[in-house]
Amino acid sequence: MKTSSISLRVADFLKGYPPFNFIEEEYLLRLAGSGKVKFHEDGELVFEEGKKRDKVFYVIQQGTVNMYRKIGGSEELTDVRVEGNLLGIFWGSLDEHYQATARTASETILYALPIDQLVEIAHKTPPVKAFLSAYYSPNPSAADVSEGIAEAPSDWLQRTEAVRERSNRNLLTAHPNDPVRKVARQMAPGNQEAVIVVDDMRCPLGVVTESDLSGRVASGEIPVDAPASELMSSPVETVPPGLNVGQLILRMLNRRVHHLVITADGSANSPVLGVVAERDLALLHGRLPTMLTNEIKVARGPESLAAARNRADELLLHYLDTEAPISWIADYIAEIDNTLTERAIELARQKLAAQGRRGPGMPFCWMSFHSEGRRERLLRSPQRSGIVFADPEEGNGEAASYYFVELAREVSNTLEICGFPKEARDLRADNPRWCRPLSEWKEHYSNLIANPIENDILRQTPFFDMRAISGDFQLEADLQEHIRSELKAQPNFVPLLANDAMANLPPVTIFRDSVMDKSGILWTCIDTKVHILYPLVDMTRVLALEHGLAETASTVARLRLLTELLPEHAAQLGEAIDAVYFGLHLQTTFGLRRGDDGQFIRPGDLGLIERERIKTAFRTVAQMLDYTSQHFGLKSAVQPA
Q: Using the minimum distance from each CB to other proteins, give the nearer residue, 10 or 305.
A: 10
Verify binding: residue 117, other proteins, rule CB under 8 A. Answer: no
What does the alpha-carbon distance between residue 378 and residue 25 come to, in Å, rounded to a whole number?
35
CB of 607 to other proteins, least distance (A): 20
Give the residue among 89, 91, 85, 118 at the shortest CA–CA distance from 104.
Answer: 85
The footprint of other proteins on this chain (CB under 8 A) covers a number of residues equal to: 23
CB of 63 to other proteins, least distance (A): 8
Cβ closest to other proteins, residue 65 vs residue 418: 65
CB 58 to other proteins: min, Å: 12
Largest CA distance in the chain: 95
Using the rule CB under 8 A, is 199 a contact of other proteins?
no
Task: Indicate whether 477 belongs to the interface with other proteins (CB under 8 A).
Answer: no
Q: Is 214 exposed, middle or buried (0-12, 13-18, 19+ CB in 10 A)?
A: exposed
Residue 104 binds other proteins, judged by CB under 8 A: no
> What DSSP state is assigned to residue 63?
S
| CA dist., res. 329 & res. 323, Å (int) | 10
Choose between 84 and 495: whose C-beta lies nearer to other proteins.
Answer: 84
Stretch that binds other proteins, among 26-34, 279-287, 386-394, 558-566 (CB under 8 A): 26-34
Q: Does 9 bind other proteins (CB under 8 A)?
A: yes
Pick the binder of other proteins from 15, 17, 38, 351 (CB under 8 A). 38
Contact 57, 113 (CB under 8 A): yes
511 lines the binding site for other proteins (CB under 8 A): no
For residue 33, state whether it binds other proteins (rule: CB under 8 A).
yes
Establish if 109 lies at the interface with other proteins (CB under 8 A).
yes
For residue 38, the number of C-alpha atoms closer than 13 Å in the C-beta half-sphere is 18
Rank residues 33 and 227 by Cβ distance to other proteins and give the closer one: 33
CA geometry: angle at 183 spanning 182 and 187, to 5°?
Answer: 115
Distance CA 472, CA 464 (A): 19
Nearest CA among 542, 565, 515 for reference residue 461: 542
- Least separation in angstroms between residue 12's CB and other proteins is 8
Is residue 10 at the binding interface for other proteins, with CB under 8 A as the rule? yes
Question: Judged by CB, which is closer to other proteins: 44, or 237?
Answer: 44
Which residues on adjacent β-strands are paired with residue 57?
113
Q: Find the shortest distance in angstroms from Cβ 64 to other proteins.
A: 12
**Which amino acid appears at position 15 of this protein?**
K
Q: Rounded to the nearest 5°, which phi and psi values hold at 480?
A: -60, -40
| Residue number, 16 or 223, with CB nearest to other proteins | 16
Specify the residue, 114 or 495, whose C-beta has the smaller distance to other proteins.
Answer: 114
Among 18, 19, 35, 373, binds other proteins (CB under 8 A): 35
User: Is 62 near other proteins (CB under 8 A)?
Assistant: yes
How many residues does the structure list for the chain? 641
**Distance (Å, whole) CA 323 – CA 309:** 21
Q: How many CA atoms lie within 13 A of 191 on its CB side?
A: 14
Q: Of 6 and 489, which has the nearer Cβ to other proteins?
A: 6
Strands of 379-520, DSSP E: 385-389, 435-437, 467-471, 509-511, 514-516
User: Is there binding between residue 42 and other proteins (CB under 8 A)?
Assistant: no
Q: Of 105-113, 156-164, 453-461, 583-591, which segment contacts other proteins by CB under 8 A?
A: 105-113
The Cα–Cα gap between 582 and 513 comes to 20
In the chain, the N- to C-terminal Cα span, in Å, equals 47
Residues at the contact surface with other proteins, assessed by CB under 8 A: 1-7, 9-10, 12, 32-39, 41, 62, 107, 109, 112
